[in-house]
Chain A
Amino acid sequence: MKRILSRIYLITFVLSFCSIVYELILAQTLSAFLADTVLRYSVTVGLYLFSLGIGSLLAEGTFLTAPAFYLIIVEILLAVLGGFSIVFLFVADALRLSGGVFSFLAHGLIILIGILSGFEVPLLIALMDKDQPNRESLILGFNYLGAFLGTIAFAFIFYPRLGLIPSSLLVGTMNALIGILLFKAAGDKLPKGLFILQALLLVLMVCCLLNASAINDYFIKLYLR
C-alpha cells in the first residue's frame, strides 16, 4: 500500500511538471507567432488556469468511479496533444490560415491541454485510499513541487538549451511513461487494448525524440519558406 501511495505522489509530481512546461512552451511559441507578446502570454496563462478549473469540475461524477482508466486516457491524449503541440502550430502556420483561424486553433489547444490537466488532481485523489487522512493536501504539495521544478527546468534547460520542439517531445514522452506506470499502480483490472495503445504511443514518442533535431530543422525551414 505504502509503495502504491509513494508511486502516486511521484505521478502527481511528474504530471504537474509536464503541465506547467506545456503551458510555458505554448505561451512562448504563441508569442513567437502572434504579435503583442505581453497580452498573448497573459491570455495563455489565464486560459490555461480557467480550463484547469473546468477540468476539475468535469472530473466530478462518473469519472471518479474508474480513476485509473480515465487517468490513462487523459495521459494518452496529453502525450499526443502536448507532445506534438508545437508541431501542430507549425503546420497550422504553414497552411497560411487566416489570423483568426490560427488563433482559434492555438487557443483551443491551450484549453484542451488545460482541461485534461485539470482532470488529473481529482482523479489522483480518487485513486488514493479513501481512509488516508489529508490526502488532498499532500497531493497538492507534490503538485506544487512539480510545478516548481517545471518552471526552473523550462527557464534553464528546456528553452535555452534543448529548444521548444525537442522539449515538447520530451515532456510528451514523460506523459506516455506515466501512463505505463499507472498500469502497474492500478493492477490488472484494465483492458489489454489500452495497454497496447499506450505502449505504441510511447514507442512513437521515443522515435520522435531521437529525431528531434531533424524535426526541428524541418519545421524551421517550413516556417521561413
Chain B
Amino acid sequence: MPQQHKIGSIYVMTIILSACSILYELLIAQAVVSLATNMVVFYSLTIGLYLISMGLGALYFHRHFKGQGTWELLFRVEMALAIIGSLSVFIVYFAHMLAGFCEIRFFFLGGTILFLGLVMLTIIMIGFLTGLEVPLLLRLGQELRTTQVINRILAFDYFGSLLGGVLFPLVLLPHFELIQIGLAVGFINLLVALFILFMRIEKKVGLMEQALSGLLVVVFSIAFLNAGNIEQFFLKKYYYYKETSESFVSLFDPMDKYPTIERYASPYQKIDIVQVPPIASPYWEILRVYSNKYHVYPDAPTGYILFLDGFFQLWSDFEEVYHEYFAHVPVALNGKVPQDVLVLGAGDGMLMRELVKYPGIKTITQVDIDRTIVELARVHPLLRWLNNNVMADSRVKVIIADAYPFLRNNQKKFDAIYMDFPAPFDYNLSKLYSREFYSFAFKSLKDDGYAVLDAASLKALSDEKDFLKSDAQMYFHTLKAAGFQTIHFFTSRLEQDNPEALALMRKAIGDSNQLVVKERADGFGIHREEVNGQEAIAQHLLSSFMTDQEHQFIFLKKEKQASDPQYGEIVSDLFVLNKARVFLSINQSQIEAAAAEPSYVNSILRPTIPNISYWWRIKFPY
C-alpha cells in the first residue's frame, strides 16, 4: 500500500474509531440510565469513568509499549472491542437481572453493588481499549510522516466525536434498539480489523484470528436480525423480575408463556403496557371491597400496568385510587367547581376522565410533550376503555408542547391547574418541580383558583417517615418560594379497619399464627419484624397492602386558606372515593413555616429534587 494511502486511511480510521468510541460511551450511558434512577448522575458517572479509562489506556500505551505502535496491535484492539463492545448492552441488562435476583434472594443492597460493579467493569474495559486507539494511530501516523500529523489526527478525533455525538441522539436512538446499536458499532470495529487484514497492511495476523473475525461477522448478522426478540427477552426479565428470580436457571428462561410486552417508543419516553399475572387471593377480593368498578362493569379490563420509562404509572384494576383522589379532593378542598382547567402532563387521559364529570367545568386545556401517549389515549383499546374515550369530549383541547416554556409564555388565567408529571428522578424532569415552574403556575392562576400536583414520586424513593422529614420539606419550601400561601398535603388513603376486608384477610390466613416481615431498612440491610396472632397478622397485611396504594398530592392556593374550610360537594358517581375517604385523605400532619428556607428550594439553577443522597438506587418496576 502506498504511503499516501496509508496516511489517508489513518485519518479515516481516526474519524471512524473516535465516532465508535463516543457511541460506546453514549450507548452504555443510555443502557445504564434506562435501569437506574438518577439519570444525570449515572450519565456523568458513565462518561467520567469512560474518560478516565481512556486516559488509563493512553498511559498504558505510553508505559508498556514504549510508544511502539504496530498494525498488529491495532488489529487485536479492534477485535477485542468488536467482541466486548457489542456485548456491552447485554452485560448491562444482564447485570440488572442479577441485581434483581440478588435483591430478592439475598440482601437488598447486594444487587445494587453487583450491578454497579459489573457495569463499571464493562465501561473500564471498553474505555481502556478505545483509549489505546488514538495514541496508537498517532504513533502509526508519525512513523509515516512527521509534520503536523499529530494536530491533524487530534482534529479528526474531535470531528469523529461530533459525528458520533450527533448520530446517536438524532439518528440511531430514535430508530434502533440499544442492542442493535451496540452490535452495529461492534461491527464497525470488526470492519476496521478486516480492513487491516485484507489490505495486507499487517501480515503477521494468525490464522486463528482470521477465522475468529469471519465467525464474528456471521454471529453479528444473526444477532442484529433477531434484536427484536432479544429486546423482548430482556423486557420480560425486567417486568417479571420476581418470577424470573425463582432460581438461577430461571434467569435464563425465555419466558415464552408470559404475554408479550407492548412497547411504544417515542422521542421522550418508552411507553410499556404490561400484562401481569392476576393478584393472589384474598387481595383480589379485598380490592373489590374498596372499589365497586367490577360490580358495575364485570368485564372491565384487569391485569394491565402502564409503565413510562420503566416506572410504574397506573394499574388498570385500581387506578381510581390515584385519579379520583387527584381530581376530586382539590374540588372538595376548594369548595367551588372550577370553569377553565389547565392539565399539564397526564397524557393517558385518566385524570381528565374524572374532570369531565363536572358539568361546571367549561374548558380543559391539556399540555403534554409527547404526541405518542396522547395518540395512544385516543386509539389504544385498553387506554380508551379506561379513560372512557375522554379525548373525544368537546371541552378537551390538547396542546403538544413542553409544559415549561408553555407555562412561562402563557398569558391566560385558569381556575385550576393540575400538574401530573413523571416522578422527578432526573434533573430534566426536576425542572417541572422547580420554584421557577411553580412561579409560572402561580402567575397563570386566577386569584381564587387552585393548583394541585402529584408528589407521589416521593414514596418510591423514601419511606413514610423520611417523606415528612426531608423530601416533603423540599416540596414545601419550593412552593413557598414560588409564592403559594396555602400548601396542603393530602394522601389517597383508604380505611384500614374495613370489617369486610379484615374478614376476608382472616379467612385467608387461616390457622397460621406467626408472620415474619422483612422490609428494606433505610440505608443498609433488612429490617425484620415478627407479627403474632391471627388478628394482628390480618391487620398488618391489610395495612401494608393499603399503604402500597397510597399516593401523595399537594393542594395549593395563592392566599392563606382558613384552617377549617367549607368542603364543597364532589360528584357522586365514583368507584372508590366517597365523603368519608375525602376526610381521611386530608387529615394528615402539615408542614408549617413562615418563609421559604433557601437550602431546600428546588431551582433550575440548583436542584434539590431528586435528593442527591439517593443517587445510587437502581430501577425496579415495582
Contacts and interface: CB of A to CB of B under 8 A. Distances in A.
B254 interface: no
Given A31-B428, A148-B55, A46 B165 contact: yes
Interface stretch (B45-53, B449-457, B580-588): B45-53
A163 B165 contact: no
B372 interface: no
A156 interface: yes
Nearest to A213: B598
B58 A141 contact: yes
Interface in B2-58: 22, 40-41, 43-45, 47-49, 51-52, 54-56, 58
A45 B605 contact: no
A147 interface: yes
Interface of A is mostly: helix
Interface string A189-225: 0000000000000000000000000001000100110
Contacts of A216: 605
A49 B62 contact: no
Given A155-B41, A159-B607, A224-B439, A53 B155 contact: yes
B155 A125 contact: no
A13 B606 CA distance: 26
B571 interface: no
Interface string B409-445: 0000000000000000001100100011001000000
Interface stretch (B318-326, B376-384, B398-406, B524-532): B398-406
B621 interface: no
A39 B169 CA distance: 7
B59 A137 contact: yes
B474 to A, nearest CB: 12
B55 A145 contact: yes
B606 A163 contact: yes
Interface stretch (A55-63, A66-74, A171-179): A55-63
Given A145-B52, A151-B51, A163-B603, A38 B267 contact: yes
Interface string A111-151: 00000001001100100000001101110111111011111
B154 interface: yes
Given A49-B165, A165-B605, A136 B150 contact: yes
Interface of B is mostly: helix
A28 interface: yes
Contact of A155 (B44, B151, B401): B44
B166 interface: yes
Nearest to A60: B151
B604 interface: yes
Contacts of A86: 605
Contacts of B608: 160
Interface stretch (B130-138, B222-230, B255-263, B555-563): B130-138
A188 interface: no
B170 interface: yes
A152 B55 contact: no
A53 B162 contact: yes
Contacts, number: 161
Contacts of A28: 427
B44 A151 contact: yes
Nearest to A163: B606
Given A56-B155, A59-B151, A156 B41 contact: yes
B138 A137 contact: yes
B234 interface: no
A34 interface: yes
Contacts of A60: 148, 151
Given A53-B155, A57-B155, A42 B45 contact: no
Contacts of B44: 24, 151-152, 154-155
Contact of B45 (A24, A45, A50, A152): A152
Nearest to B127: A144
Contacts of B88: none
Interface of B: 22, 40-41, 43-45, 47-49, 51-52, 54-56, 58-59, 61-62, 67, 131, 134-135, 138, 148, 150-152, 154-159, 161-162, 165-166, 168-170, 267-268, 401-402, 404-405, 427-428, 431, 435-436, 439, 603-608, 612, 615
21 contacts: A31-B428, A38-B267, A46-B166, A49-B165, A53-B154, A60-B148, A134-B62, A134-B67, A137-B59, A137-B61, A142-B55, A144-B131, A148-B55, A149-B48, A151-B48, A152-B48, A155-B40, A156-B615, A159-B607, A220-B435, A220-B605
Given A46-B166, A145-B52, 7 more contacts: A24-B44, A118-B158, A141-B58, A144-B131, A151-B44, A159-B606, A160-B612
